[in-house]
Structure 1
Amino acid sequence: PAKGFSQSFQLSARGYLSTWPASGQPILVDHKPCCAPEERQPSNKRVPLTIPKPQYLEQLESYLKKELQTLDLTKTSSQELKLQPYREIFEFFINDFKTYKPLLSAIKNEYEATLAHQKKMIHALKTMAMTVSEESTQQVVALQEKERDEINVLKQEKQHLLKCIDNIKEEKASLQTQVEHLQASVAKEYTRYLNESEARKLLLAKLNAMYSEQLDAKHHQVQGIKGDDMVKLTLALKVAQQDLAKAQTKLNAVITDYTDAVPRSDFESLQQNYSDLLQEMKTLQKDFDQLHKEHEALLKIHRETAEERDILCSELQRAQHNYTPRPDWAKCSEVVPGGAARWDHLAKGKTSDQLVDVLLEEIGTAVLREREIFPGQGKDEQVPVYLRHKGDVRNKHLTKKDVVTIVKDVWKEKIALDQQ
């Protein structure tokens, strides 16, 4: 070990390494542990002995303090950053104490392995916690969704039940009103029936009394009639028979007169149908009148159109009679070389006069092509210079290409002569 540390450590009597005290320890002066107690002097004094820190320890503490001050302990991994200076101090301590280096290194490695194992376990636990948290979150969300759906269903059922309750309450109130109305009606009917029953009873009593009185009166009348004259009864019977015959005759006359009569309801129904049909007939009559007017207008237009047609037909016939008929130009394709295709090309977009010129030109060209010899025009002054010739001129049957070539050569020679 270093020299400073050699002063801070002392071997005890048993051979162990004693630590340097953190503060001064009281040491007995002239203390003799092996002497007897009676030989000890009572005037012994405890004198505190202050031992200064070793220089190496002060250096390590200073280094540790400086490293800790430079760290940013506000971060999440501040504990690991704080542990690093202590590791470095422990490394210095192990390297300086060669004798205890293997043991201290083993202790340090074991602590490091334990810390690494704990970190792995913490990381695994964090991962597991995150997984469990996600699963629990998903389960909570699923449960919330399920509960939300169930809550929505329950809310809908609640709304439906509330509506049903309101409907039942309204129906109950309506039924209660009807019951009250029926109770009042029943009470009125009961009162009326009770009054009628009492009235019937009184009426029956009166009828019985009247019937008794009639029986008594009849009995007395029969007894009185027996004594009257039978002639009066015979006359009364004849008068009654005559009245009956008159009434029967009148009834038969009424039946005969009103045989064809109809009930008033049927009459009113038929009258309503008649009114509807009459209104419909008036509407149809208006439509018919309108259509009749339109038909008359169309007939007038048709007559005017027919007159115009007749006038145009007569003018057409007059024009056909007066005008010269157009020739059939398609027949010219038989005469023109090249057939119908060439004639259609030549006749396209030309008038009759132009077609006559084209036809004459084609006929003349054909005649010229058929001739082998042309008579000369002579050498008179009236004949152009380039046409002066005596005798016959042979037809060379030049093609268009040959003529174009000759014309070009002539123009070249003329230009050359003009330049000279």
Structure 2
Amino acid sequence: MTSTSSNVVTRFPKEPLGRLPFQGYHYLAFIFTLVQTKLDPIYKPYRGEEELFYFPLAELPTTSKSDNFADRALSIDPWPAYATERTNTDTQILRVGNRLLAQSKEQSKLKPPPKPRFLILLENKIMRDMKKLGISEDTSDPLRLQLYREIFDRFIEECAYYAPVLAKIKDQYEGFIMHLRKKINEMQPIKELLWVASFDADKRVNEFQNRENTEIDFLKSERNRDKFKLDKVQQERVELQVTVSKLMEQLGAREEACSLEADGRKLLVTEVNDINSRLRELEALTRADMGRNTDDPIKLKILVGEYEKALERANTELNRYRSDFEERVPRVKYEEAKKQLEAKTVEVDALNEELESAASRYSLLKDHCETLNTWRDLYNSQILYITRILAAKSDAAQKVEYMNALLFKYRKIVREKTPEQLADFVTHDLAKAEAGGLPSLTRPTVGRNRSKPEGE
């Protein structure tokens, strides 16, 4: 519907105002450059560069018989309000002097409608302020929001007819924004609490890992030190065994030589005793013969000569035995060999005692190393289980409860089992932990036997 009066073109909107998106300037530019005219005050006329147009009343007469407000609502043309009804022929004929000129289709096209001056001023102000304040294109910039809020307030001030509705829309948006900010502020402590909890958890995990690495390094150093000591003791034991075997061989050879010398001496002593006994017998016989033949000096002289010869032969033989004995086994060497044998015997006894002491210390160190290996494997299995529990996606309280039950189980096993049983258990448990999975646990029944409250 179009009506003209005193060169005024009246354009009625075609779309309801509630359908307008406020983000685009081309939908609202028809109400810029506000210039009051002398028309009826119930209208809001505005002047463009070529035409004058205005918005009519909120309700207009309609030919529709429906009483619904939607059927009687106003509609607004796209920007500018009069652009959709501008018509022109494809070709135009112009009169230039006495001649008629026909224009082509391209030459007959109408120029694009200019923007209202108020829209141009607002756009220039936006560009100028954004450049002046250094506002970026990021929609999350608060200065950008403040700038567009001021432009929208200015727009509401100039649009007196739509100002209440626009102000209500602005209030609704700002109210909802305040509601969202309030919700964000309410959630901020929760976020901080979660951040603090996450930071504490990371800190405790790092401390646990550092303490665990320190203990592991300490145990590794102790194991290496004990292993070095064990290797050293084992090397000393081997050296002592070699030394003892050599000394035993030397002692056996020396004992055999001494036994041979002792046997030879015994034989020589027996022969000397034999000779002495025969000499005594000869002397006794000589005395007896001398007693019987005292009257015959010639016989006595002959007998004395024989006795002297026999005595000379016996002395010669005795001297020969003595010289042979001194050549074979000198007494000084025998005493020296005896002393050396006794000293070697004492040394062998001392070496045997040291060997027994080293063997006992080696056995003790071996038991200690086995105990350390058992505790190390037990510690590694616990670390594997705890790492697997911490990596699982479950509730933190459930993780803590499971770890408490796991530690309770291991403490109970350590108290109840002997070292041999504990070593076997740790070997099987470590193999199971390295294979993957978690052990089945029975939660400690701390409050299971509590008395039930009345009424249950």
- Tell me the TM-score normalized by structure 2: 0.34
Structure number with the higher helix fraction is 1
| RCO higher in structure (CA 8 A, sep ≥6) | 2
